[in-house]
Structure 1
Amino acid sequence: MSISLHQYLCKFLVGTENHVKIIRQMNTVCDNLSNDDISVQITSGSFGEGLQMRGSDIDVMLVLRFIEVHDNITTIAFNPTKTYFILMTDNTNSSFAMLRLVSSPHRRLVESCETFQGNYYLSSALFKRLFLSEFCPVEHGPCVSDKHSYTDYAPCLHSRSWVKTASRWIVKSNNPWPNENTKQMIINHGVLFVPIGSKESANEKLEWRMSFSVGEKLLMYTFSHTQLLCYALMKILLKDVINTNSRCKDLICSYYIKTIVFWISEELQPSVWTPDNLIQCFMRCFSRLIYCVQYQVCPHYFIPENNLFENKIEGIDRNNLIDTLSVLFSYGWRCILFSDQISDGPILLNNIQNYQSFLYYDDLNKLLKSSTSIRVSSLTDKHYNFCRSVHTIISCNSKKLKFIHEYFMSWICNLKCQSIYVSSTIRNKNQYKQHKTCLSYLLMSTNHDSVSGWLMLASFFYKGNQYKKSLILILYALSKCTLDKLIRGTELTAMQRLLVKWHLIYKQRVVRSLKFMLVDHVNFATSAFIPMELLIVESGFVIPPVVYAHFLSFLCHYHLNNVRECQISLRDLQLTIAEDYFMGEDIFPKAFSKYCLGTALQLIGDHLSAKQAFTETVQILHSYPFFIRPLKRLSMIASV
C-alpha cells in the first residue's frame, strides 16, 4: 500500500484539515473561558496554530487588561484604575521598545520601574518576576514556566496602535496573500510587548520585544492545508534532523522557519499551494533557508529592517550549518526521512489502517494537561464570568463549538462546586439554597469523563453523612472503570487507538465521545469535598479514580460499622495500588494513593503498615515540600 506524502502527514503527523480546525476550536473555547476582567489568555505557538508537534509545549500569552501602552500621550483617555505607558523607540533597535511610565495606581508596577534619563521605565526583568510562583517557578526567555515545561506563560502588554517601525507592512503592494481583510484585522489588533530585551543592548533589562504573535496566528489561519503541511515539514526537519546534529544544535529557531514560510507565501500565488505541489513548495522553503544562512539575512516579516540573522550565525557555526544544510538538500525531499517520526511511519501503517482520528484524543489530552485549572480558575471566582460563559454556550450556533464549550464547562463546574461551602446539616433556607446550587454544579460536572464527576458527587454525600447514597454512586462509578476505558494522560496502545477510532467514527465524534471513553483523576482543588480523614493537606489532591472509589467505600462502611465490607474495600484498595490499575503516569496520583492507603490502615489501628505507606508517599513527593511537611508529621503520629 502506497500513499502520498500529503496523505501520510494527514494520517500520522499533522492530521486532516478538519482535525486542525478542531484543535483551533478547542483553543478558542479554552481561551474564551480563561478570560476575565484582569487578563486575556491567548494560546500561541504550534498548538495554538492548530499543529500537533512532538515535543512542543503549550504557549500562552497573558495580556493584562489594566495596563495600556500608547504611542502618544494625547491618545490616552485616562482611567484612574489603569496603568499607562508611553512607547519609546529612540534608544532601541527596530523590534524593541522601552515603556515610560505615565501613571499607575498599582504599587507593585511602580516598584518594577527604574530610572533612565530622568524618567521611570518599566523593567522587563522585574516585571516578569512578578509572575513567578510555586506553580511556575522557572524563567524561560520572556515566559514563566512550570517545572516540567508543560506550559509557558508569557505575560505581555498591549498597544492598540500599530507601531511606526512596522508601518511599511501596512502599505505593502496588493499581494494575493494575505488578503485585505486579514491585514486589516491584524492592524486593528495592534501589537503586544513581551518582557525581554535585546542582548546586544546596554539597556536590555529595560527593553521589551514587540510581538506580532496574534497577527502571525491570524496569518497561519489563512493558510491552505498544504501551506500548513509545508510549514510542519520544515519544523520537523529543524527539530528532528538539523537540531539533532551537535554542530548545528540551536543555531536556528522555529521562528526563523515561520518567517521564511510567510515570505514564500507572499511570493507564490495561492493556487500553487496544492497537495500535488507539496514537495516543490517544501524544497523552495528549504532552498530559501540555505540562502538566508549563506548570506546572513532573514528579514523580519513585519519589520523588514530587522535582520533576524544579524550577528546570530557566524564563523565556524555558519560553516558547519551550511555544510549540513547542503548535504541534506542534496537528498531532495527525502531528507525528511532522517526524522524518526517519519521513518517509522510505514511500520505503523502496516499495523493500523487508519488511525488519524486518535490525534483528537492526544490533542485534547494535551490541552487539558496544560495547567487548565490555572487557566480557567477565574470562572470560579466571579459569578458574572461564569454566567457569561454559560450564556456563550446557549447562544452558540455551531454544534461543534457548543459541545466543546460544554465539555470544558463540565470540568469548570467541578471546580466551581468546590468553592461553595455546604454544611453537613441543612437548617435554614440559605443552606438549602447552597445545597441545591452545589448539587446542580456537581451534576453538570459529570459530563467531562466517565467517572470523576460521579465520585465527586459521592464525596458530596459522604461529607453530608449520607453514606448509603455515597455507596450507590461509588458502585456506579466503579462499573464505568472497565478495561476498554482510557485513563487521561497515558500513551495509547494500538488496540486503544483503534477503539478511539471506532468511537469517533461510529459513535458521537471527538469531544462528546470522550465523555464515555475517558476516566479522569479526582481533583480536589479545595478542601470542600475532601473527607475529613485526609485534611492533613487542605487542597491539591489528585487521586486516581478507582483508588478513591475504594477508599471512599472503606470510609462509608467504617462509619456504618460494616466490618466485613470495610475489610473488602481495604483489600480492593490495596490490590488496585499493587496492580497499578487506572493509576496513570504522573507522580501525584501515585503518591496520594499511598496516602489514602496509609489513612485507611491508620483508622483500623495498623500503625506499622500505615507508617510504611506514609513514608512511601513522602519518598515520592521528595521535591514538593508543601506536601512533605504535613505528611512527615502524619508519619510520626502513625508510629506512636
Structure 2
Amino acid sequence: MAGRDTAWLDDSHLSFLIADSLVNAIGDPDLQRVRRHIMDVLDKLHRHNDQMEVIRSGGAAEGFRMRGSDVDQMYVDKKTKVVTEIPKDVGKNFQISVVRLIRPPDVPPGYIKLIVLTPNTPWAHIRECTQKVFGEFLLSSEAFLKWHQKMNKTGVRHGPCVMQKTQFGIDQDIAFCLEFKSWPESANEWINRHRLYEWPSKQLINKIKSKGCHIMAIGSKTLKSTSCKLNVGESMWMEDPFQWRLSFSLAEKYLVYDFNNTQFLVYGILKILNQELFSKDPVVKNCICSYFLKTILFWAIEETPFEYWIPEKLIFCVDMCFQKLIEWLENGFCPNYFIRENNMFLGKVQEWELGYISKQLSDIYQEGWRCLLRCPSLFHLKKALEEARLLISPFSYPVSNPEEDFRALKTDVRDRDSSYVERDVDCALFAEITTVLTNVSNADVLEQELQNSLALEIKEDLDRFDLEILQVRRLHQLCPLALVYLSISSTQQRSRRRYQYLRRAFCYLHLVRFADISRGNLTLATAYYCLGRFESAIKYIKEYHSILEENLGFLNISARHSATSSDPHYPTNICGRGWSAMDKMSVAVSYDFTVYQQMPLIPLEISLEAVMMKKSEYLLSIPPKPYSVFLEILCYFYLGNLERVNDLSLKLRDMLCQMHQDDLYLVYIMLAVTSMKMGKYEEAVRYYCLAHNNKRRLNMYHSNIPEWQSRTSVLFYIAQLLRPFMEI
C-alpha cells in the first residue's frame, strides 16, 4: 500500500513544503484555473468556422506553465460527418462528406475503420485518401496524414500529428482529426462503470458523453517480423494504414479541469519526474510519455476516497501513483481510462523494455520523496530544506529528526491577504492576454478577431471578468493592426490613400496608449519620430516618464524573459480599490516595446536589429526604460539640443547597472549610436565591442544557431561607423 515505505514519508509538513515549492515550478493551481479560463474565453474569438474547429490541447491547455509544456492544437474537420448507420439522405448534400464508423473483429479496442459513403466528395482530403479494399471504400489514416503534411510544407510527422514551426517560431503539434458526435459503443463501460467514490460526478460524465469524441489518423501497431531488415532510423513497429484511433482529448481536458489543487500538483510532480528524471535514460524516455502518467492519475482518483486528495497527503498520493506505474510495467498492461481493454503499452513498449523500465523506475522509487531533489525545476525545494537544516542545527548537517526539518519552514504561499491574491490574478490576466497569437501581419485576421470580440460581448451573457478579458484583448490587438496600416501606407502611391491609412493607424495608436504605460506611448512616439515629428514624439515619451515618476506600483511583463514581476507598491496602491482591469493597465502595467519582423517600426539608427532577426523569431522585444531615453536622445539631436543629448546619454549609461544581463547588448548599441551622434567615435567603437561581447555570451547559452551568425548586426554597425573613415 502507498505510504508504507519509510522513504515516502506520509508527513503533512513535507507535503506542504513540496506543494509550495511546486508553485515555482508549475504555478499556483488557483492561478492556473484563472489562466485556463482566460484562454478558454480567448479561444471563442477564433475557435471555428463552418469548415474547421480548433481545439487547444496538451499541457498548456491544461493550465501548465512549466518548461516543456506542449502547446498542441486539434484541427477538427467540420465538413465530414461520421455515422454508425447509413443515413437515408446520404450523398444529397454535396457540401458534406459522410463516413461510416465500423469496428471489425480484427481491430483492437480503441481503434476503428472508416467506410467512405461519399467517395466522389468534392473535398480533396477525403476523396484523395479513399482507397477501395475488398469492395469497400476505406479512408486511409496514413494517406490522410500525408495529405495534410503535404499542405504544410514545413510540417514533419509526429505520431498522429503534423509538427510545424509557426510564424512565431514555436514548434506546434497539429492533429487533423474527425468529429464523432455520438459516444462510441466501445466506451460505454466508462459511462456505466460502478464508481465507489463518485469521481467523476454524474453531471460531468453526462457532459462528456454529450460531446462525443474525436477520431485521430493513426492505426494500431505491431512489431515487424524479426526477418525484416530495418533501415537506419526506421521504426520497428508496423502500423495499419486503414485504422483510426478514438481520441478522448476533450473529455480528458474536462477531467483535468475538475482536479482539485492536490490532484493538479500530483499531476505536475509526475510530469516533472518524467521530464527531468525518467527521461535521463533513453529507453525510458522513448517509452514512457506524460499521457500514461495522466491515465494513472485518472484511475487513482477514481479508485480512492476524496479524503486522500488533500494537501497534507500530497506525498502519499505521489507514492500511490508511482507504485501504480511500476505495477503496470510489471504486469505489461496500461489500461486506457475510457476503454479499459485498450492496452496502451502495445505498439509503444516492447516486452524486454517493460522489464528494463520497471527496474529503472523501481530504483528511483527506492529513493523515496528525495528523488524529487534531483529535479532541476524543484531547486526551491532543495534550497528550502537546506535553510531549514541551518535553522534547526547550524553546526550539524544532517538533521536527526527529519520531521522537524519540514516543520521549521515558514511558507509565504499560504495565508496571503486579498491584495496579493488580486495582484496574482492581475499578473495572470495581463500576461496571458498576449499569449494567444494570431497572424499579426494580416489586417483581415486582426479585424475579424475584433468583430468576433464585439459579437461575443453582445450575444453572450458574460460576467465582469469575461468582459474585461475581451476588452483588454481588443485594446492589445489594435497595436499590430495599427502597424499593419502604417506598413500599408508606405506602399501607397496616391497621397490620399496613404493619408487614409496613416490616419487610421494613428487613431488606433492613440487608443493603444491606454493598453499599458510603456508600449503604447513608445510605439506612438516611435511612429512620430519616423515621420520626423520630433516634438510630438517627445510629448509621449514624457508622458511615459511622468507615470514612472508617480511610482504607484507596476506590473512588468517581459516577453524577453517570459516573466512577470511586480514591485512592492502594486498590492498597496493598485489592488483593493475596486479598479477595473482597464483602469489598472492604463496606469500600472508595463510591456516591452515590440518590433514585429513583418512590419517593423523602429528608428533607422538601430533598424539592423530587426533586419538581422533570425528566421525563427517574429518579434524583437526591447526594455522600455532605456529605449525611451534613447528615443528622446534621437529626437533632441535632430532638434539641435546637444546639451540635452549629453545629459540624457549619461542617464542612459547609468541604466546599465539596472539591466538584466540578457538586455545589456541592446543598451550598449543604443549608447554606441548616441556616441556617434555626439561625434565620440572611439567611445562608439568601445560600446559596439561591448555589445558584440555581450551578444556573443548571450547566444552561446541561448541559441542553437552558429554563434557568429547571431552577432552579425553588431558587426554591421561597426562597419557603418568605420566606412566614412575609409579611403575609396
> What TM-score, normalized to structure 2?
0.69
Q: Does structure 1 conserve the Cα–Cα contact (< 8 Å) formed by 2:156 and 2:163? A: yes
Q: Does structure 2 conserve the Cα–Cα contact (< 8 Å) formed by 1:261 and 1:285? A: yes
Q: Residue 631 of structure 2 aligns with which residue?
A: 552
Match 1:128 to one of 122, 129, 149: 149
The aligned runs of 1:402-413 (5 Å cut-off) are 402-413=467-478
What number of residue pairs does the alignment pair up?
627
Comparing 179-188 with 203-212, which one deviates more in the overlay?
203-212
Q: Residue 453 of structure 2 aligns with which residue?
A: 389
Q: Residue 208 of structure 2 aligns with which residue?
A: 186
DSSP-derived class of the 1:155 partner: strand
Deviations 1:428-464 (A, max 9, x none): 9988775664345324434554311111122333355
Q: Residue 21 of structure 2 aligns with which residue?
A: 12
d(CA) in 1 for partners of 2:156 and 2:548? 37
What stretches of structure 2 of length at least 5 have no aligned partner? Answer: 1-10, 223-236, 389-407, 415-420
Q: Residue 40 of structure 2 aligns with which residue?
A: 28
What stretches of structure 1 of length at least 5 have no aligned partner? Answer: none
1:42 aligns with 2:64: no
d(CA) in 1 for partners of 2:635 and 2:286? 57
1:70 aligns with 2:134: no
Q: Does structure 1 conserve the Cα–Cα contact (< 8 Å) formed by 2:79 and 2:96? A: yes
1:455 aligns with 2:477: no
Q: Does structure 2 conserve the Cα–Cα contact (< 8 Å) formed by 1:410 and 1:446? A: no
Amino acid at match of 2:358: I
Amino acid at match of 2:481: K
DSSP-derived class of the 2:60 partner: helix
d(CA) in 2 for partners of 1:304 and 1:113? 31
d(CA) in 1 for partners of 2:708 and 2:374? 44
| Residues 534 and 277 of structure 1, relative CA distance in 2, 3 Å threshold | closer
Comparing 487-496 with 113-122, which one deviates more in the overlay?
487-496
d(CA) in 2 for partners of 1:339 and 1:263? 25
Comparing 378-387 with 534-543, which one deviates more in the overlay?
534-543
Match 1:414 to one of 472, 479, 487: 479
Cα deviation, residue 383, structure 1: 3.4
Q: Residue 344 of structure 1 aligns with which residue?
A: 383
| Residues 311 and 456 of structure 1, relative CA distance in 2, 3 Å threshold | closer
d(CA) in 2 for partners of 1:374 and 1:265? 37
Deviations 1:275-302 (A, max 9, x none): 4554544433333222211111111112
| Residues 445 and 69 of structure 1, relative CA distance in 2, 3 Å threshold | farther
Quote the sequence identity (%).
20
d(CA) in 2 for partners of 1:217 and 1:223? 10
Match 1:401 to one of 466, 474, 480: 466
d(CA) in 2 for partners of 1:592 and 1:196? 47
| Residues 247 and 298 of structure 1, relative CA distance in 2, 3 Å threshold | closer
Q: Residue 172 of structure 1 aligns with which residue?
A: 193
DSSP-derived class of the 2:32 partner: helix
Q: Does structure 2 conserve the Cα–Cα contact (< 8 Å) formed by 1:355 and 1:497? A: no
Q: Does structure 2 conserve the Cα–Cα contact (< 8 Å) formed by 1:380 and 1:415? A: no
Deviations 1:157-209 (A, max 9, x none): 23134344434434434762222332232233232344555453645666654
Q: Residue 231 of structure 1 aligns with which residue?
A: 267
d(CA) in 2 for partners of 1:131 and 1:8? 46
d(CA) in 2 for partners of 1:409 and 1:217? 27
| Residues 285 and 423 of structure 1, relative CA distance in 2, 3 Å threshold | closer
Cα deviation, residue 477, structure 1: 2.5
| Residues 495 and 305 of structure 1, relative CA distance in 2, 3 Å threshold | closer
Higher relative contact order (CA 8 A, sep 6+): 2
d(CA) in 1 for partners of 2:371 and 2:710? 49
Comparing 592-601 with 59-68, which one deviates more in the overlay?
592-601
Comparing 260-269 with 480-489, which one deviates more in the overlay?
480-489
| Residues 416 and 215 of structure 1, relative CA distance in 2, 3 Å threshold | same
Q: Does structure 1 conserve the Cα–Cα contact (< 8 Å) formed by 2:329 and 2:354? A: yes
1:144 aligns with 2:163: yes
The aligned runs of 1:109-128 (5 Å cut-off) are 109=125, 113=129, 115=131, 117=133, 121=140, 122-128=143-149
Q: CA RMSD in A?
A: 5.1
The aligned runs of 1:489-500 (5 Å cut-off) are 489=559
Comparing 329-338 with 460-469, which one deviates more in the overlay?
329-338
d(CA) in 1 for partners of 2:564 and 2:509? 34
Deviations 1:329-382 (A, max 9, x none): 556666545545143344689998515768768866875685x43478778526
Amino acid at match of 1:183: I
| Residues 347 and 125 of structure 1, relative CA distance in 2, 3 Å threshold | farther
d(CA) in 1 for partners of 2:211 and 2:185? 15
Q: Residue 394 of structure 2 aligns with which residue?
A: none
| Residues 83 and 571 of structure 1, relative CA distance in 2, 3 Å threshold | farther
> What TM-score, normalized to structure 1?
0.77
Q: Does structure 1 conserve the Cα–Cα contact (< 8 Å) formed by 2:692 and 2:711? A: no
Cα deviation, residue 473, structure 1: 0.7
Amino acid at match of 2:297: V
Q: Residue 155 of structure 1 aligns with which residue?
A: 175
DSSP-derived class of the 1:63 partner: strand
Amino acid at match of 1:390: L
d(CA) in 2 for partners of 1:100 and 1:535? 57
Q: Residue 488 of structure 1 aligns with which residue?
A: 558
